[in-house]
Structure 1
């Protein structure tokens, strides 16, 4: 065929050029003459029109042809990025570089042409042939015309697919928008194109500064901002820090650590301190006198300086687990430990990409299937894992079912006994806490005393009530201590509190061990790093909301079978054991519906109209200040996976999930069913009114969108016992920290009442805060 003739011709010409002209040993005229002769010879051998080639080549002078070759060479280098002397094949705008040593035969060229046509060009060519070319002379509509149009369209489309590993800045005209730093002696040149008002530009700028200081390159920075903005995209102050030799002492073995400084900051703006770290790092503040969520510099007095120390607490071991058919074995459970203690931490595999995650420290660990149904159904040899760098570790694991178990469902067990609950389960949790605490600074003597002092705990009888909560900022940590006291005063059963560690202040983490010892309760600090593949929230308040609902199946030890979430600003007036023991009728979640009593709030009940009314179809809209999670049922039904899928779908729309942790379970209750608790389990003045207050089993200090009354003021007015609880908690905190009560109160600025991030959903409007 004609195509085969052309391919044979090109192949012969390329081989001739490679063999005869890679070494420039002849004069230019002789070179051109020999090339012409070879073209005529190859055309004759492949049955191509020799006379046409002769007529075309002899119409140009030798000088014109050589200039054309030079121009083509400049185009290949300047526009296509091909190095001089390199070999490449260009088809329909796509460039395939042939590396030295690689064979590229006639058959390869034929295969490339065939695949390009079948995969990309064929469909474009068919569409172009159907186009009515109005206004084009029919004599021009030749096969060459269609071929050229097809090539141009294919080339344009391939530009969109071209990888970005290589860029050519020579073509940029940046006379008025470039910053040039010339270094005559440098062998390194850096070109950078930056949008100065983008988050990426904010991070790249200090990195370029560090490179400039360390290697003194020549540099050109082209500023490329968006031409028009409705709002400034950056609302934070940012510093990029790298370790330097100054961080290491020259006289001893101490390490000072890298530091970031913020100067000339606004005094009257409420700021929040956040830290941006590599994905495998779990970092937390370990020294901070002031509330890092509500920094108001004008309240610091004459000092006007605030400092905080952060510490790398742990690294992440993450992975993806698949069966041989590439389906994730959702619910499969792993344990991680040492040879002596094989079960230190555990987790389960999500259906979302087969993802799993564990917290580790540097060292050698053993990963294996958890005893129970996971080990009964699947095979996986114990894996030895070395954490030998600060990059953490990402594993890809393939498992297969045991022979004869191929058709059994992992999540079909009624008892959901994936991790055997033994009599030493309590000790296992203690071991986990001790292991995790080795990563952070702490009072070892206090831990020893806590292990020995069991008098108060032994006085409490019955099954342990597990309470889960989250707080951020000193104000809500103050509320959290009051909630703890209100729970303990109303029950004779053992209580264990679970707190999300990510947002607790160093002060609270210093006080809570003493409080547990004093009042006879257990506690555990838990955390889960936001997966990279899951759409991430940017506002700290919304991240906290997400932690209340998105990771319930993986944030707790697999041995925990039920937990109650209680808002930090809630006051409990009954024995929570009653709620803990309640039959949820097979539902994984139990929430209290919003009250309808207070008719003054009808205008704010958005779930009674529009989208929510249509979506709920008669189901109630529940409040998320108090809820029960049957973790066994939650994991067995893959409720966590379902909620994450719904979240991923909705969260990319900024108008969706305005009250994230509340909207998400209410929206998904058609697939993740909710058991509606009796109304008295959660009373809130704003929505319920005073008529039902006497029957309230818990009182939530929810915001009132009409009055916007400050939280502390409302607490003292609504809940008489709140004042006594607050005084008791403040006196205890002052005694532990060695401060007086007035200093504790002054540590919470008045402005933080309205600005502190807190999972509360009665008023979706929030005051924006700047971030460090």
Structure 2
């Protein structure tokens, strides 16, 4: 035995089987022999023997239950009873190892749970009995350590599953091998990761087949990749395919020689921050052996940063069976206006539908009853016969025309009928009445509309019309204030809204925000602006060549901003004496392209384009510079000289002459400047203007400073009203076109501002432009990018980073929460403080301390640090990191900040690595003893946890840097990239404008305690800002809902959707909306209000068709547990006399055709049909529609032809974009 080799002299080893009474008896004797004082007894016995298994109850046989209980329960009892006399003598302890499953049950663990529940009960009873003997009974309840220990291997799990399946009864195998059993297995596994609401939405997605199109597209893409023969799964590496893992290495080595594949939005990507890594696409079916092997191989390569791994679903031998879809409507319309209202003057009051019974009624027979004969035979029962005849007429499915006066209030009467039903049944009644309206109309006419209902509807309609733009009879649907356009948005887009809203609301709830406040927070508009950002052009570094408001050359132009509202022909640029349009060039005078750009500016100026033109020269700003040697400095000094002597306009004309001397392909030279100056100003000593001691040095340093401060990108730069042009727009010809286009586009913005009174003639137009929300102090493409990555900080837990062995097994959300819980900020302020975490490589040679300077200068920032070391942390290479962490943990925020600023210098890190004492770098006010104690006692767990967070959550490589601001990840930064103080100020400004102030204000209103407020601002900001940008939410303010609305209240204590529907119950929208709301009722917890928006004084039948909306909240099954052949639309008990036509109301992108029917679906006459009319449609194609426009000008092209195809067949079809509409299909 291994223990005998390791034991000390005091350790005695004996092996026993706890299920064998003889071995237990021998063990007792063995113990007695080796006790020094047998009469003193045994101090303790620990019952730790145990076995476990898994399997659902129907699969486990009784022998398995006996085996597990014999060890876990009866073994504990046997051993305890045998040693109890010795324990009592010593007044010792009995320690029983139970489990958390002794207090809670778990699926597939019934045998184990039963045994551990028994151990708990046995221990509790024994504790009571042994109390008088002084014996303590202790129960230890371990958690789940299977994942951490690997005690159950993959092979053992597979072997157990095989055994369970073989031993299962045949009837169980039949049930568990069905479609329904697989479906429930999927839900069971998914429920371990999803909330109840998310699980309902997943059921709905499966019912909708919401992802079938994506899976099918992957299947088609795989077919175009030419799968290798006899491969059920394969790799594609930049166009080359293989299913042999041995070939993967060679294909990866040659991948750079082939073009990278195009990746789609729906692709499942596994990647680290290595944009140049080759892309490996795995086509495989999840759950197969090949998928498991290939997936593990590729994930290991991803973790090493070797590849970007993309998974696409692929089935080598797909089923030929079709699936039934839902989310569409089916209409059975009455053809040729068969159902009409009849004029009272033309129709006598004795038709079939008449509710008045007269003696001369010509209709004598109804449903086989001869009422003329009955009246004769039973004259004393005339009133009863009237009621019988009325009932029979109204219960028939055959339709009859209504009188015009009966139609007038039909919409209000339908609403009254719906609202008279119990609230739980109201939606069902609305669905029944609206979808079968031609049959129900006659009975609805007898409904009485009370005055309170009518008045409330009419008052609400004033709000519908004035605020929501809904006329009487119109419909609207709002989910959490988001408008759902029933004409445009299909059920799939509604599903996306539900899923997105569920994520946000459950995230807010997990942050312990009360349900009542969640909807207030949802209404905050925190989405970043998608407008082009601009920098402030009110800077002295800009030389303005002209001024439209003051220059005499524009004096004939009108100066009133009201001229913008004067009608003109399309495309005409208004000439108004206001600086509406400002064009600034930031150039290096010696750059090759500067010549063309100056010529563009001169063209604008000479052609009287209403454009104020400015120049910024970026030249050498060193103190000792000679313009006689540097052409850029020479041109700037010459410009300054002429400007002082004349004006900027004359200076601009002269430098244009200088550039005219530059030959194509050449750069500006000093000789060009001197020759023009000598010609224009022969009396001037050139060296006094251009030389080293020149007094004409204005804006030499300021120009470069403005360029660097604004961060507008590589030179040259052109800006329109402070907005930099894209690089591809900087071609001279393109720049002219784009600038003119921007002038036209911006005019509409000014027109609106003038019309609304936001801009008047007395205001400074440039100030007005620069006060717009898109104007920022600096342009940083990383900060201002519209595509942003956010961390999910919505999880709440009590995990921290000080135990790496535990941290490493947390999921991504839990790791985010653990890092946030462990963060100690250098600046702790109240709720107005925003939160920024700087990820730093403290070992990098380019380590910059500007972030600490920023934290000192800003009152709106909390600064924390996350370490991403370049190498595995150890005590020898982590001096700086441990010192920073110790300072944050033990010192005041200000002292810690000053100390870390000192540590961040490269020479400090080098000194520490050479053995310098860390306390030599302390700053005044520090508690040195406390700091040193913490520094020397620190374990490396926090560094390992930080490194794991950067790798697993952020997908960064070791040593990469980034900034995390309120959950937004900005990075990874390039090795030489600097994120300076101006960038922090820009980031702070953007957050305050878009989200910070609004969230802060709302958190203050909620009354969150100060300790939580700052963290809550950060987490709420990350959650809300991560959502896709959408329309603004509408805040309702209805007149009343007591009499005119269906109301369903949500379950208390749970997050709920606020759903408002506005509908006329006698319209097509009601036919669709009622079943939709019924499905939503089954899916989500919602506060539902359905307001009636009725039309009055109808003169025609509002609905002339029967309708069914095909939608189910969950997949349905047959009695044999196979998938039900549905969902389908059924029309039952239809009238036989009208002529019908069958129409499908599908999402706009569906192209469907009838593939199976015996009948002419355009002319259905049920009287001539023997059985039923069945029709089957097939979704053949999905239609993609779009618009074509020039990426530079934004205008539609005059005409365009392009081809569509695949890599293997590039010319399948061609299409033409028409010049008039610029649309293609």
Please confirm whether the aligned pair reaches a TM-score higher than 0.5, indicating the same fold.
Answer: no
Greater relative contact order structure (CA < 8 Å, 6+ sep): 2
TM-score normalised over the length of structure 2: 0.17
TM-score by length of 1: 0.25
